[in-house]
Amino acid sequence: MPMNFAGIREKTLVLIKPDGIQRGLIGEVFKRFEQKGLKVVGVKMMTLDEAKLREHYAHLAEKPFFPGVSQFMQKSPVVAVCLEGLEVIAAVRKIVGITKAREAEAGSIRGDFAMSLTCNVVHASDSVETAMKEVPRFFKEDEIHDYLKSEYENVYLAEELNA
């Protein structure tokens, strides 16, 4: 049965936060996703302003701790990454670990590299609905790249893709 990679269209957003940038963890974060077999379809470094942060963290914007989150997220640039793969959102959430990093499992990014609720190295979309809002918030259409990842033949079984 020929492999049909067209079915792999789920995308997610990961932000490597200022603590990850300052601590030199960009490569380590990328390594974890690439070793899993996920496809990087967009990447850029950017500085976040208050307006972008209020939009991104709208669910937290009125909380008393939001000014601290905003200040932290503006300390340095972030690296925005768009990943694609079969059930990529769930896979990325396992790789990054739970938000409260000191309780995250060893082996996850947060479990291995962080202790904080905010300074936890990465942000990752938590659902399909969230990812569908977050990806276009950080990437224009022409910044997302569609290409054949030949490695997929060694990552997925044809039956998984054609199901």
Write down the pLDDT at residue 3. Answer: 63
pLDDT for residue 162 is more than 80: no
| Catalytically annotated residue among 56, 59, 123, 145 | 123
Query: Taking the CB of residue 12, how many other CB atoms lie within 10 A of it?
Result: 28
Residue percentage of the chain with pLDDT more than 70: 95
Q: How confident is the model at residue 161 (pLDDT cuts 50, 70, 90)?
A: confident
Q: What's this model's pTM, rounded to 2 decimal places?
A: 0.92
Structural domains for the chain: 10-48+76-140 (3.30.70.141)
**Over the stretch 70-112, which tens digit does the pLDDT of each residue have?**
999 999 999 999 999 999 999 999 999 999 999 999 999 999 9
Is residue 145 flagged as an active site residue?
Answer: no
Tokens of 58: 């709208």
Write down how long the chain is: 163
Give the tokens for residue 19: 């603590």
